[in-house]
Structure 1
Amino acid sequence: MSKQLVKLRIRPSRNGRKFTYFLDYQIENGKRQRMTLGHANKRNAQRQRDQKERELRMGIIAPKSMRLRDFLEDSLDRTGKQIRESTHDECRYAMNHLIEVVGNIDYQKITLKHGELFRQKCLDKGNSPATVTKKLSHLKRMFQLAVNRKQLDENPLQHIAMPKVTKKKVEKYTADETNRIVRAAKDSQTALKWDMLIITALCTGMRRSELLNCTWPDIDFEDMTIEVSPKKSTDYTWEWLIKDTDRRTLPLTNNVLQMLAGHQSQQPEGYPYVFVPPARYDHIQQLRKQGKWTLKDASQKVISNFSGTFDKILKRAGVRKRTFHCLRNTALTNWFANGMNEHD
C-alpha cells in the first residue's frame, strides 16, 4: 500500500467543546501545507481528504494562498532578469501602494472593484494620470502572469479603465540652441568630452545610457555606423541592457566619425568605453570588484553628476533648462522633417 500523502486531523476549539477537521500534506517542493475544512462532518472531511489525495497523486496542485506582498516577491522571483531592475522597483512601488489602499490581502481575493478604488486613491493623492496608468499597467501585468502560470483563472484587472492621459508637448532644441550648446560644451572643464557626446546624440538620436555604454567595437569606421547593443559582464565591461530591447545600427556622418577617430587615437590602451573617461572607468572597475556596482548603476551612474553638469552647459549657452533627452527628441524631429517615417 502506497504512503498516504494527505492526513486528516482534528483541531479542537479553545474551549474544547467543539472541533473542526483540517488536512495536512506536502507540496512538490516539500513545504508543508495545512488546509482547514471549517466543519466537523467526518464523512465530508474524509471525502475531501480523498479528493486532495487524488489531486496530489495526479500532480494537480491548487494555487497556494499568498498575501499580496508574498505574491509580489513570488512574481518577481519567477520573472527574474526578463525585466529590467528599474521595472522590478516600479512593480514593488505599485504593489506596495495597492497594499496601502486595500490591505495585504490574499492575491486571489483581488477584484476589479479593488483596482478601481486604487485608481481613484492614486488620483486623489495627486498622482498624474500618466503615473496612475503606469502603476496599473505593472499591477495588471503581474496578475496576467499569474493567469499564465495557472495561479489565477482570470486577471481581476483585465477590464480596468485607465485614466485619460493628455499627451505632453515634445521638448526639443532649435538649431541655434544646439549650436550654442555645442560651443558651451567645448569650454566644459571636465574629463568627459561633452561636445563630442552632444554632437553624437544629435547625429544618432541615442539615449544617454546608450551613449555612455557604447564601446569601441560598437563603431564600424568602415561602414560609418554605430551599434546600440547590450553588454555582458566581463573583466572589461559591465552588464547593461537596452531599453525595450531596442537593439539597432545607426549611421554616422563624416564629421562625427572623424571626431570619434581622433578621440580614439588619444585614448590609452585598455579602456573600452567611448565616452567614459579613464579615471572614471578605473573607479567603476574598483566598485565592481567590491560588489558595489549594479545593473541599475550601469544606466544611471556611469558619469557622476551628469544632469548637473549638463544644466551648467545650458546656462553658459543661455539656453532654457531642459534635459539631455531633449537632444534625442531634437534628432528624431529633424529626421521626420527630412522625410523619415516612424517605420524606418
Structure 2
Amino acid sequence: MAGSIRNDGNTWYYILEIGRVNGKRRQKKKRGFKTKKEAQKALIEAEHAILQKGMYHEPAKTLYGEYLKSWLDDKKIIVKDSTYKIYHWLIHKHIIPYLGHIEISKIRPNDIQKLYNELITNDLLARENVQKIHSLINDSLNKAVKCDLINRNVASLVDRPKAYKSELSVWSIQEVKLFLNNAKTSRYHIAFVLALSTGMRQGEILALRWKDIDFSKQTLSIRQTLSHTGNKINTGAKTKSSLRNITLPEETINLLIKHKKAIQSEKRLADILYNDNDLVVCTNVGTPCSPRNLLRTFYSITKQSSVPRIRFHDLRHTHATLLLEQGTHPKVVSERLGHSNVRITLDTYSHVLPTMQVETANKLNSLLFN
C-alpha cells in the first residue's frame, strides 16, 4: 500500500494505492485540499482506515442536508425543547441552504469557511450564533465519522469563529427604583422585584412555587423552569449549578407575603375554576403566565418610566452589577446567579472591575496611611 501527495495548480490531492481487485490495479484519489499538510493528514487517515478495517471505506453519497435532518431528529430526544428549536432554526435557516446540496463526503473545509464568512460579512447572525453553527457542523460530522459515513471531519480543520462581547446594558439604582415604583400596580410587580433582587432568569421566576420559598429562613430554591413558549414546566434548571438557593432581602419577603394574600384571594374568587399549580407568578386562575405578556408589560412600564430600554434578562445583569459595585464578593454573586464557576462571573462583569480596583486602592490608602 502506497500513497503520494500532488498539486494540480490550485489545490492539493492525494493518490492512494489500495491494491489489486480481480487482477486490476485500484487507486483512490481525493482532491480539494487547500494545503499540502491537509492532504498529507487525509492520506494518513485513509491508510489507517485500510489497516484497521482491511479495506478502504468508500464515503457515503448522502446529501449533507438529508443527513442533517436525520441527525437533528436524533438530537431532539436528548436536548431540551428550547435548545432543539435553536438547533432547528440554525440548521434549516442557515446551514442547509448553504451546504445542504453537497454530498456529505464532498464537503471541504473551504465550503464551511465560506459559510462563516457569508454570515459574518453580511451581518446575518450574531457572532455567538455563528459559533453555534460551527459547533453543530462539527458535532454532526463527528457523528458521521463514527457511523462510517465519512473518513474524517473536515470541520475540525476550520477555525472556530471568534465572538466579541457586546457591552452589557444595565440600569442604575435610581433607574431601578423609578421602574419599580411605576410597576407597583402591575400584576407582574413581584416578578420584576424577584428579577432585580435575586438575579433569577425569566423561566425560573415564572416557574417558582410557594413551596420553594422558606419564609422563616428568607430563602428560595430554584428547582424548575418555564419554557420560553410558556406551555411547559421543566423539572430542573438550565445547568446543574442553576439548581440553587438564594437568600432574599427582607423587603422582598414582605412583598411576597403581600402577593401571596392577593393570590389566595383570587383562588377563593375563582373557586372550582382555579388551577392550583402553586405558582408565585400566575394568572388569576392559577395557570402559568405567558412570557410574552410579561415582556409586553415590562417594555410598557419601561417606556412609562422613561428609563433606558433593556431586555428582561438585563435585570439579571443589573442585579449582579449593583452587587459588585457595592463590594459584594464575586463568589457570592456567582452563587446567586447559578454560574458554574466564579470565572464566568468575573468575565461577564469585567466592566465593573476597574471601579472595584479604584475603591480597593482607596480603602488600602485609608488603612495604611491614615
The residue that corresponds to 1:76 in the other structure is: 72
- Structure 2: which 5+ runs fail to align? 1-19, 25-56, 268-275, 335-340, 343-370
Distance 2:199 2:226 in 1: 23
- C-alpha separation between the residues in 2 aligned to 1:305 and 1:231? 17
Shift of 1:174: 0.4
**Contact 1:229-1:247 at 8 Å conserved across structures:** yes
8 Å Cα contact 1:101-1:118 kept in structure 2: yes
RMSD value, Cα: 3.2
Q: Pick closer, same or farther for the CA change 1:185–1:132 going to 2, 3 Å.
A: same
SS of the residue corresponding to residue 70 of structure 1 reads helix
Deviations 1:166-225 (A, max 9, x none): 22111111000000000000133xxx2x32211111111001111011122222223322
Equivalent of 2:191 in 164, 175, 197: 197
Residue 317 of structure 1 aligns with which residue? 305
One-letter amino acid matched to 1:323: R
Change (3 A) 1:225 1:62: farther
Give the stretch that moved more between structures: 205-214 or 252-261. 252-261
With CA pairs under 8 Å and 6+ residues apart, which has the higher RCO, 1 or 2?
1
CA distance in 2 between partners of 1:257 and 1:106 (Å): 60
Q: 1:92 matched to which residue of 2?
A: 88
Q: Which runs of 5+ in 1 are unaligned?
A: 1-40, 46-60, 285-300
CA distance in structure 1 between the partners assigned to 2:144 and 2:210 by the alignment: 42
Using the size of structure 2 for normalisation, the TM-score is: 0.62
Alignment of 1:20-35 (within 5 A): none
Q: Is contact 1:91-1:139 (8 Å) kept? A: no
Q: For residue 181 of structure 2, what is the aligned residue in structure 1?
A: 183
TM-score, with normalisation over the residues of structure 1? 0.66
List aligned pairs for 1:40-51, cutoff 5 A: none
In structure 1, C-alpha distance between the alignment counterparts of 2:161 and 2:226, rounded to whole Å: 38
Q: Distance in 2 between matches of 1:328 and 1:201?
A: 6
| 1:339 paired to 2:290 | no
**Per-residue deviation, 1:65:** 5.2
Superposition map of 1:1-344 within 5 A: 66-96=62-92, 97-127=94-124, 128-147=126-145, 152-188=150-186, 192=187, 194-230=188-224, 238-240=232-234, 242-245=237-240, 246-268=242-264, 270-279=276-285, 281=287, 302-337=290-325, 338-341=328-331, 342=334, 343=341
Checking the alignment, whether the CA contact within 8 Å between 2:131 and 2:161 is kept in structure 1 is yes
Amino acid at match of 2:280: V
* Aligned CA distance change for structure 1 residues 42 and 136 (closer, same or farther; 3 Å): closer
Looking at secondary structure, tell me which structure has more helix per residue: 2
Q: Aligned residues: percent identity?
A: 22
Assess if the C-alpha contact under 8 Å between 1:94 and 1:136 holds in 2. no
CA distance in 1, matches of 2:247, 2:90: 39
Aligned pair count reads 264
Question: 1:158 aligns to what SS in structure 2?
Answer: helix
83-92 vs 115-124, greater mean Cα deviation:
83-92
Deviation of 1:276 after TM superposition, in Å, equals: 1.1
Q: Which runs of 4+ in 1 moved over 4 A?
A: 41-45, 61-65, 147-153
Shift of 1:78: 2.2
